[in-house]
Amino acid sequence: MRFSRWVVPAFAALAIAAGPSPSGQRLDGISAVVNDDVVLSSDVEEQLYLFLLRNQLQPDSAMVDTLRHQILDQLIDEKLIVAEARRRGFTASVAEIARQVDQSIAEAKERLGSEAAFREQLARENLNEDKLRDKYRAEVERQLLAQRLVQKELPRRSVTPAEAEAYFKQHPEKFPMMSAEVRLSVIQIPVLADSAESAKAKAKAAAARNRILAGEKFAKVAQEVSEDPGSARAGGDLGFFPRGSMDPEFEAAAFALKIGEVSQPARTPFGWHVIEVIDRDTLKTRAGRDSLDADGQPVLETHARHILTRVDLSDADAERARKLAERVRGEASKGTDFAILARRYSQYRGPASEGGDLSFVSLASLAPNIRAGVDSLELGQVSEVLANPAGFNIFKVTDRRPERPYKLDEIRGELPEVVAQILQRERYEEWVKGLRAKAHVEIRDS
């Protein structure tokens, strides 16, 4: 979907969050006072950590602060909504809460691969199952109370295509702009380990694969072996992803597998992967329809999990790659044809022409350091050497398109759902504003 998603906050059930929060020093304190209740800093940090983990984000400090304030606002709103629901007599039955708690526990065990892995994770979190159930029970009750009150006060209203188009024309300021785009050519110089280190990591991946083929659960092996800390905690689960969202070589291996098949070790810039495809489906729009590509074909997405064994890279490996990138950049800045240099040196693994042309890319989609490195370049200029997870990049800017409003034809199919979400969000915000006006809310964190 092209638009940002306007949704009424969903009070999702907590997952087990392994590992430290992003800012441990903020855990012991009160972030806000809400009438006679409080929002703890630890609550904010936990939700922030889970959000970053689920979305595989590595934001800068400014974005972390923005997210932290947004999460605090949502937790304050939740306190107000739950308190209002209790005041008005909304309830959730013990049986209903227990049923959802049981489901959450079962999902956690399945995600972690086994009962033993579940127990090990609890021990790492200094929890036992009774404490986890208590935590889930309180959270589920709050969810149910909040959901029932919101549904009562703000029933969802559908929007017809004609109404959506009229709203789009009358309120263009309420819709996001299509991000500015830049046409880039790239030369990528990867940091490569020597062959002995790569062979060691491949052998480790092959041994993990053999354990799975011998009958061990993939999730269990992933937890014990995988060197991708984010997905290892979830048994290697990466969720659903379409083409273009992962490393090209990883995608090529994942989309070639049959459901349930375990791959041979596959090499990417991050190391060696063992991949299993769990499911495959068509990417859906918010309206529930199939997303279509430029040729009108359904866009497929794959649900996969993986085990990663990293190839250890030395400072000498990185320095060797950096020096080569600096030399190539020097040639490009002196006027040597960029396409010739790309064909000679580049090992870029994404979709690009033989001469390194990436076509137009959204500036908003670029990593912050890459965007900063190309945003100020004039047409025809070459960037400095810019680091990325795979190594070092050199870019040339060949064209630009400014930020602009979306055209109706570009978003017509998604418009009714998007307008419905905008209207629902506006009604929700106005309603919560009324709850805040009647409450005592004191924000302690700045």
Same structural domain for residues 139 and 281?
no
Which region, left, alpha or beta, applies to residue 9 given φ > 0 means left and ψ of -120 to 50 means alpha?
Answer: beta
pLDDT of 53 higher than 90: no
Same structural domain for residues 221 and 130?
no
pLDDT of 146 higher than 90: yes
List, for residues 318-354, the tens digit of each pLDDT value: 999 999 999 999 999 999 999 999 999 998 877 788 8
Same structural domain for residues 290 and 335?
no
pLDDT of 16 higher than 90: no
> 300-309 and 177-178: which strand pairing?
unpaired
> 391-401 and 300-309: which strand pairing?
unpaired
| Mean pLDDT, range 262-270, rounded to an integer | 89
pLDDT of 286 higher than 70: no
Same structural domain for residues 388 and 338?
yes
Based on the number of CB atoms within 10 Å of its own CB, is 24 exposed (0-12), middle (13-18) or buried (19 or more)?
exposed
Residue at a domain's end among 263, 291, 309: 309
Query: Contact 388/141 with Cβ under 8 angstroms?
Result: no
Same structural domain for residues 122 and 263?
no
Q: Is there a domain that residue 349 lies in? A: yes
CA contacts within 13 A on the Cβ side of 262: 21
List, for residues 94-104, the tens digit of each pLDDT value: 999 999 999 88
Q: For residue 292, what pLDDT is reported? A: 60
Note the helical H segments in 259-407: 315-333, 338-345, 368-375
Residue at a domain's end among 292, 309, 326: 309
Identify which of 247-251, 281-285, 418-422 has the greatest average pLDDT.
418-422
CATH of the domain at 126: 1.10.4030.10
Q: Is there a domain that residue 419 lies in? A: yes
Higher pLDDT, 214 or 10: 214
Confidence of residue 197 (pLDDT cuts 50, 70, 90): confident
List, for residues 378-396, the tens digit of each pLDDT value: 999 999 999 987 789 999 9
Same structural domain for residues 58 and 186?
no
Q: What letter does residue 413 receive in the DSSP assignment?
A: G
DSSP reduced 3-state for 273: strand
Based on the number of CB atoms within 10 Å of its own CB, is 112 exposed (0-12), middle (13-18) or buried (19 or more)?
buried
List, for residues 403-429, the tens digit of each pLDDT value: 999 999 988 888 999 999 999 999 999
Identify which of 10-14, 103-107, 224-228, 279-283 has the greatest average pLDDT.
224-228
Q: Is there a domain that residue 364 lies in? A: yes
Q: For residue 22, what pLDDT is reported? A: 42
Q: CA 430 to CA 167: how far, in whole Å?
A: 19
Any idea which of 14-23, 255-264, 277-286 has the lowest mean pLDDT? 14-23
CATH of the domain at 258: 3.10.50.40
Q: For residue 69, what pLDDT is reported? A: 92
pLDDT of 287 higher than 70: no
Same structural domain for residues 278 and 220?
yes
Q: For residue 27, what pLDDT is reported? A: 45
Helix and strand numbers, DSSP H then E, in the chain: 15, 13
Q: List, in sequence order, every residue forming a beta bridge with 182; answer none if it has no partner.
A: 361, 400
Q: What letter does residue 441 receive in the DSSP assignment?
A: E
CA contacts within 13 A on the Cβ side of 35: 14
Average pLDDT value for the chain: 85
Q: Is there a domain that residue 66 lies in? A: yes
> H/E element holding 405?
strand 404-405
Query: Contact 263/276 with Cβ under 8 angstroms?
Result: yes
Q: CA 57 to CA 60: how far, in whole Å?
A: 10
| Mean pLDDT, range 196-207, rounded to an integer | 92
Token pair 């390194």 is at which residue?
356
Q: CA 113 to CA 309: how far, in whole Å?
A: 19
pLDDT of 13 higher than 70: no
Q: For residue 290, what pLDDT is reported? A: 56
pLDDT of 151 higher than 70: yes
* Interaxial angle between packed helices 115-124 and 218-225, expressed in degrees from 0 to 180 and rounded to the nearest 10: 30
Q: For residue 50, what pLDDT is reported? A: 78
Domain hosting residue 49, numbered range? 24-160+412-443
Based on the number of CB atoms within 10 Å of its own CB, is 324 exposed (0-12), middle (13-18) or buried (19 or more)?
middle
Same structural domain for residues 295 and 242?
yes
Any idea which of 9-18, 184-193, 252-261, 353-362 has the lowest mean pLDDT? 9-18
Same structural domain for residues 300 and 242?
yes
Q: CA 45 to CA 72: how far, in whole Å?
A: 9
Q: Is there a domain that residue 12 lies in? A: no
Higher pLDDT, 15 or 380: 380
Q: Is there a domain that residue 8 lies in? A: no
Q: CA 291 to CA 283: how far, in whole Å?
A: 6
Q: CA 166 to CA 164: how far, in whole Å?
A: 5
Residue type, 411: I
Q: What are the DSSP calls for 76-125, one per residue?
A: HHHHHHHHHHHHTT----HHHHHHHHHHHHHHHHHHHSSHHHHHHHHHHT
Based on the number of CB atoms within 10 Å of its own CB, is 294 exposed (0-12), middle (13-18) or buried (19 or more)?
exposed
Same structural domain for residues 265 and 354?
no
Same structural domain for residues 381 and 284?
no
Same structural domain for residues 68 and 112?
yes
pLDDT of 171 higher than 80: yes
Confidence of residue 10 (pLDDT cuts 50, 70, 90): very low
Q: Is there a domain that residue 328 lies in? A: yes
Domain count for the chain? 3
Question: Residues 357, 358, 360, 364: is their CA dihedral positive or negative?
Answer: negative
How far, CA to CA in Å, does 189 sit from each of 150, 267, 303?
53, 16, 30
How far, CA to CA in Å, does 148 sit from each of 11, 21, 84, 155, 437?
12, 31, 11, 10, 21
Residue at a domain's end among 309, 343, 360: 309
pLDDT of 19 higher than 60: no
Q: Is there a domain that residue 13 lies in? A: no
pTM over 0.85? The answer is no
Confidence of residue 3 (pLDDT cuts 50, 70, 90): very low
Closest CA to 371 of 181, 178, 177, 176: 181
